[in-house]
Structure 1
Amino acid sequence: MSWFTDWFAATDSEVARWMLQRGVAALFFVAFLSSLNQFPALVGEHGLLPVPEYLAGFHRLRRPSLFRFRYSDRLFRWVCAVGLVVAGLLVVGVPQMGPWWVPLVAFLVLWALYMSIVNVGQTFYGFGWEMLLLEAGFTVAFLGSDQVPPPRPVLILLVWLVFRLEFGAGMIKIRGGAEWRNLTALYYHHETQPMPGPLSRQFHLLPKWMHRSEVVGNHVAQLVVPFFLFFPQPVGSVAAAVVVVTQLWLVLSGNFAWLNWSAIILAFAAMGDSALHAVLPFVPADLSSASWNAASPENTGRMTAWPASGDWSAWVWVAVVLAASLLLLVLSWWPAKNLVSRQQLMNASFNRWQLVNTYGAFGSVTKNRVEIVVEGTLDTVPAEDAEWREYRFRGKPGEPERIPRQWAPYHLRLDWLMWFLPLRTVHEEWFYTFLMKLLNADPAMLRLLREDPFDGERPRWIRARSALYEFSSHAEFRETHQRWVVTPLRVLIRPIGLKDR
């Protein structure tokens, strides 16, 4: 069996495991923190789409959730508190110091708790990076602790996850809008993406030949490079480095919650310690205190004796890893089939546990940025010449002179849903409820905004209109010092008010 244990134990992946476990745990921490701050106002007991009403509409909630039979904001906050504590412990490496089953249980707890939130979060949790975090958390759970070597089957499955994430995104673009095929997609993307960042305008103003080069680089990174992730070292590490660099480019150019950071962290699954030490000599050669670690000089050559004769715990660990790997391998059939399908699905799950999903983003690019502007007035008559004051959002563009902020990996869910409204319709249930909350100056809802123009006072009327937002050119900025050129379009929801006003 020595040949099997030699293959099973990925002795050159200690840094990879260190990064994967702590990185995924850090993303869980951000996800729970984001939910704690926003979930009650959005879908809590008195939210825009209340969870109790959502659950009451189903005789049986098919997707698993701890809130299936009972939901309260207090119970939700306890779930988030537990998630934050467990994620924090994993980030600092406390569970990893114990037996192999301790980090396994810790990550499965994070997976179960966050899945409970996602499965009742409705449209506010309908993003691809939610299922990506769930799948990553479940898979990373089987990387074990410092007491066992990093298991190669799990690392291969994590590389398979990166492959689906990158290649799926590449294929959805090739099959999507013509702008990806004629290399013009980035003429528009930096300006029209859901939530621009501080540097998005600078990216948008790059010469068009650079935008075309960006698209070519994107196609290479997503359609060619992912295959090399499976190659032996150092090719796998080089391919992973390309993934990291391209994802960092996306981090600099926009705000996509933890999507890009997930890809960066998961790419370490394809990196070998020797390659990392060659490029980053400051990375410690020995990140583990375990006796098995071959990186320590006193332990050189001992890996051939792992697991030791009679070490039943290690063999149980091997059996658990193989069982989980077999499960994920079987579940891989459906997303693999989807990748080669002409009717490729984007960000879809094929099972109720949201494991081994299919991913993709921006199959087509919006050509114009239309923003929904929400305004209120204290005037008795809501005429056009009334004093209309605009509500300011944290991440959504507002004032023409304001620099967009960097929020990722933190996720502003309300702002993202506001971006989708012009692409769909403003006549969505949650948006009308949102307007009613503003009419009532609801404190929980106002805390999600950056600025309440009425300082807690209830407006008499409220309306929603549309406006075209375009990045200003260098010449326009020098003249006006405004980063956006804003063109009002039309009123979409005429003034509405409360009967008691």
Structure 2
Amino acid sequence: MAVVVGESGMPWNWFWAQDYWAARVAVQHLLGVLYLLAFLNARNQFRPLLGAHGLTPIPRFLRLAGFRQAPSVFHLHYSDRFFAGLAWCGIVVSLAAAVGVVNRLPLWAYVVAWALLWLLYLSVVNVGQIWYSFGWESLLLEAGFLAIFLGPVGTSPPAPVLWLLVWLLFRVEFGAGLIKLRGDPVWRNLTALHYHHETQPMPGPLSRRFHHLPGRVHRIEVLANHGTQLVVPFVLFAPQPAADVAAGIVVITQLWLMLSGNFAWLNAVTIVLAFAAMDTTLLGPLMPGEPAELTPTPLWHRAVVLAVTVMMIVLSYWPVRNMIGPGQAMNRSFNKLHLGNTYGAFGSVTRTRYEVVLEGTSQQAPGQEHWHEYEFRGKPGDPRRRPPQIAPYHLRLDWLMWFCAISPSYGRSWMPGLLRALLRGDRQVLSLLRYNPFPDEPPTFVRARFFRYRFSSRQELRDTGEWWVRTPLSDYVPPVSLADIG
């Protein structure tokens, strides 16, 4: 076992967690991977969504929101080229963190590198508007902020930071469990998974199989979910090996969720946080090599860690109040730095799946024209297409299309711009789609149609080859031309 050396006295012994060096290594490498994924995601999608000519342009947002409302380096300067440069900087630094280069830097350089990642991604999230309004953005930022103070390889892991990571995991799991129990009666009567696998935002390749599991299995799944989210989180703070067992249950549950649907990097970040609760008994054999010795960090670092711990304890007042209060909210940040957030998911479960399908035509006037369908990369469209595996990547437009099917208000700020982009043949916006039926000239009219979708039965899949059965309901947006949208 690695030992702490260089201490002249006993007062700081409680501060170090030398048996958790493997947990720190796992958290650092995997957070580097997730930051890399997040910056790649931003680089690939920002121009059509947030660029100067995007659906919700950042320059327009910056004119309306001040620095205190949305802290971001883009208040100093914005251009699409500058955003791309920031994203590439994040990609390079996160790649260095993922492969372990950052972990071998001097302490001060380690702190600067992780602080840079947090600052850059905070700048993106705070100007990301509706496209960055998901809970996993705040979760990555809060976990990334705590990683700043874990210290590089060779130093003893500070126990307070590991406690804060486990406390973050507790809030994620327990908050999600409470919102389910309080929110929708289907979680209480154990029928939630009769609907969820079919109606979730973006089903995956195995979601249909999960949906067709027997009802008894679905009820067992819900019971297991309640146990994992309402009981297991308390065991995370128990002595070993109980904490290892609790963390292992969280990991297995999150892997199960990853198999059943696409939830961006929500499950992956939760798994990373679970590793923070594991000592070397579980993680040690998986690490490439045990350090020969662990040295204490300087006094200034310990003072910063203690100050951050006090700050996070104070900030925890708001999520705790939210969890124990009668009007619990899901996925809310109580400050613009996205620290001390409250989390939760699927407090309500939709019973029926609706989809908005975009179509275009080259005919000059609406009537008996032939309509051709645009295909998205992740969301259901063509009934014969098997739902793809997207997570831990995130398709932001596809997710918002699911919300639009629930309520048109979700698309008020960007749906007209999306239809306008299709009518103009905007290549940047079309790059977000899987299939453009008008590769040579843009359509003269586009429309959005409203469908009901359900998973096909086993017999229907064999007979028709269709994963989905869809029923047209109405026009979501009637046929419009470029002149109509203006």
The answer on whether the counterparts of 1:196 and 1:404 sit within 8 Å (CA) in structure 2 is yes
Bigger mean CA deviation after superposition, 319-328 or 368-377? 319-328
Superposition deviation, residue 190 in structure 1:
0.4
1:23–1:60 Cα change, 3 Å: closer
Picking from 383, 391, 396, the partner of 1:408 is 391
The answer on whether the counterparts of 1:90 and 1:96 sit within 8 Å (CA) in structure 2 is yes
The answer on whether the counterparts of 1:96 and 1:102 sit within 8 Å (CA) in structure 2 is no
Structure 2 residue 293 is the aligned partner of structure 1 residue 292? yes
Superposition deviation, residue 241 in structure 1:
0.2
* Aligned counterpart, 2:313: 329
* Aligned counterpart, 1:299: none
For residues 498 and 317 of structure 1, what CA distance do their matches in structure 2 show?
A: 59
Superposition deviation, residue 71 in structure 1:
1.3
Matches within 5 A, 1:192-211: 192-211=199-218
The answer on whether the counterparts of 1:101 and 1:144 sit within 8 Å (CA) in structure 2 is no
* Aligned counterpart, 2:5: none
Structure 2 residue 354 is the aligned partner of structure 1 residue 353? no
Deviations 1:25-44 (A, max 9, x none): 11110000001010111011
* Aligned counterpart, 1:36: 43
Matches within 5 A, 1:119-198: 119-198=126-205
Deviations 1:412-469 (A, max 9, x none): 0000000000211166130011000000000000101000001141101000110111
Picking from 244, 249, 254, the partner of 1:242 is 249
Gaps of 5+ in 1: 294-305, 308-312
For residues 105 and 283 of structure 1, what CA distance do their matches in structure 2 show?
A: 25
For residues 353 and 94 of structure 2, what CA distance do their matches in structure 1 show?
A: 37
The answer on whether the counterparts of 1:83 and 1:110 sit within 8 Å (CA) in structure 2 is yes
Superposition deviation, residue 350 in structure 1:
1.3
Structure 2 residue 475 is the aligned partner of structure 1 residue 496? no
For residues 57 and 76 of structure 1, what CA distance do their matches in structure 2 show?
A: 19
The answer on whether the counterparts of 1:148 and 1:314 sit within 8 Å (CA) in structure 2 is no
Structure 2 residue 230 is the aligned partner of structure 1 residue 220? no
For residues 175 and 456 of structure 1, what CA distance do their matches in structure 2 show?
A: 52
For residues 167 and 293 of structure 2, what CA distance do their matches in structure 1 show?
A: 27
Matches within 5 A, 1:86-97: 86-97=93-104
For residues 132 and 25 of structure 1, what CA distance do their matches in structure 2 show?
A: 14
Deviations 1:119-142 (A, max 9, x none): 111001100000111000000111
Superposition deviation, residue 317 in structure 1:
2.0
The answer on whether the counterparts of 2:174 and 2:233 sit within 8 Å (CA) in structure 1 is yes
For residues 403 and 43 of structure 1, what CA distance do their matches in structure 2 show?
A: 30
The answer on whether the counterparts of 2:23 and 2:283 sit within 8 Å (CA) in structure 1 is no
Picking from 382, 388, 406, the partner of 1:399 is 382
Matches within 5 A, 1:443-462: 443-462=427-446
* Aligned counterpart, 1:473: 457
TM-score, normalisation: structure 1: 0.93
Counterpart secondary structure, 2:122: helix
* Aligned counterpart, 1:272: 279
Deviations 1:126-185 (A, max 9, x none): 000001110000001110011310110000000000000000000000110111011000
For residues 67 and 151 of structure 2, what CA distance do their matches in structure 1 show?
A: 35
Structure 2 residue 427 is the aligned partner of structure 1 residue 420? no
Counterpart secondary structure, 2:245: helix
The answer on whether the counterparts of 2:125 and 2:137 sit within 8 Å (CA) in structure 1 is yes
For residues 66 and 348 of structure 2, what CA distance do their matches in structure 1 show?
A: 37
Give the fraction of aligned pairs with identical amino acids, expressed as a percent: 52
Bigger mean CA deviation after superposition, 129-138 or 267-276? 267-276
For residues 265 and 452 of structure 2, what CA distance do their matches in structure 1 show?
A: 28
Picking from 402, 413, 430, the partner of 2:414 is 430
1:323–1:163 Cα change, 3 Å: same
For residues 151 and 456 of structure 1, what CA distance do their matches in structure 2 show?
A: 59
For residues 483 and 246 of structure 2, what CA distance do their matches in structure 1 show?
A: 62
For the aligned residue pairs, the C-alpha RMSD in angstroms reads 1.6
Gaps of 5+ in 2: 1-7
* Aligned counterpart, 1:370: 354
Structure 1 residue runs of 4+, over 3 Å off? 1-4, 58-61, 281-285
For residues 219 and 282 of structure 1, what CA distance do their matches in structure 2 show?
A: 30
TM-score, normalisation: structure 2: 0.95
